[in-house]
Chain A
Amino acid sequence: AQTVTQSQPEMSVQEAETVTLSCTYDTSESDYYLFWYKQPPSRQMILVIRQEAYKQQNATENRFSVNFQKAAKSFSLKISDSQLGDAAMYFCAYRSPLGGTYKYIFGTGTRLKVLA
Chain B
Amino acid sequence: EAQVTQNPRYLITVTGKKLTVTCSQNMNHEYMSWYRQDPGLGLRQIYYSMNVEVTDKGDVPEGYKVSRKEKRNFPLILESPSPNQTSLYFCASSYRGQYEQYFGPGTRLTVT
Contacts and interface: CB of A to CB of B under 8 A. Distances in A.
B105 A102 contact: no
Nearest to A44: B105
A55 interface: no
Contacts of B101: 45, 47, 104
Contacts of A50: 99-100
B42 A106 contact: yes
Given A43-B105, A45-B90, A104 B100 contact: no
Q: From DSSP, what is the main secondary structure of chain B's interface residues?
A: strand
Interface residues of A, number: 24
Q: From DSSP, what is the main secondary structure of chain A's interface residues?
A: loop
Given A43-B88, A43-B105, A44-B105, A106 B43 contact: yes
A91 interface: yes
Contacts of A103: 45, 48, 58
Interface string A93-116: 101001101111111110000000
Nearest to A9: B40
Interface of A: 6, 9, 33, 35, 43-45, 47, 50, 52, 91, 93, 95, 98-99, 101-109
